[in-house]
Structure 1
Amino acid sequence: MLAEHRQYLLPEGNGSHLDVTVIPTGFLEVEIMEEHDKYQAEFDELLFLANGKKTELICRDHAGGECVRWQVKMASEDARELAKLIELAEDEFELLMRDL
């Protein structure tokens, strides 16, 4: 059970990079590298909102709450890959807990 690490180019066109770590225990760490902005969220606080070629990754307080803690726009293809990594991490963690 290892953390997955990825870097994505943000679609705003300013050359910023998003450094993402998916931690199988249920956490996501995000850093906009050029701005040194760091964020963290539990998987159940995350929401992906697709809009054409861009998708917003949104972190809300208390799963499903209205208060947005942070959000970042990603290319939709990158967001789909990230969503899949999160899903795989959840499955892996669930399997590990069942085996214990």
Structure 2
Amino acid sequence: MLAEHRQYLLPEGCGLHAKVTVIPTGELEVNILEEDNHYKGEFDELYFYSAGKKTELVCKDQLKPENIRWHLCLTSDDARELAKLIELAEEEFEILMRDL
């Protein structure tokens, strides 16, 4: 069970890079390299909202879903890849827990 790491160029045209870590225990970590911003969220707090060629990744508070903790704009291709990585991590963790 290993964490997956990716680096994405954010599509807003500002040249920012997001280093994303998918942790199979159910967490996502995001670092905006140029701004030294760090975000964390659990898989069940994450939502993808697609709009054309961009997709917004939103982390909402579990107890108050109307409260947005953070959000990140990605290209739709990058968002699809990230969603797949999260899905695979969830499956891998589920298999591990069943085997224990």
TM-score by length of 2: 0.97
Number of the residue aligned with 1:68:
68
Aligned AA (2:46): L
Number of the residue aligned with 1:18:
18
Task: Count residues in correspondence.
Answer: 100
Aligned AA (2:87): E
Aligned AA (1:26): G
Deviation at residue 63 of structure 1 after TM alignment? 6.7
Number of the residue aligned with 2:35:
35
Distance 1:76 1:63, change over 3 A: farther
CA distance in 2, matches of 1:64, 1:56: 19
Deviation at residue 14 of structure 1 after TM alignment? 1.4
Does the CA-based 8 Å contact 1:22-1:89 persist in structure 2? yes
Structure 2 residues not aligned, in runs of 5+: none
SS in 2 for 1:15: coil
Aligned AA (1:25): T
TM-score by length of 1: 0.97
> Which runs of at least 4 in structure 1 moved beyond 3 Å after TM superposition?
none
Cα RMSD, aligned residues only: 1.0
Distance 1:11 1:63, change over 3 A: farther
Number of the residue aligned with 1:45:
45
Number of the residue aligned with 1:56:
56
SS in 1 for 2:25: coil
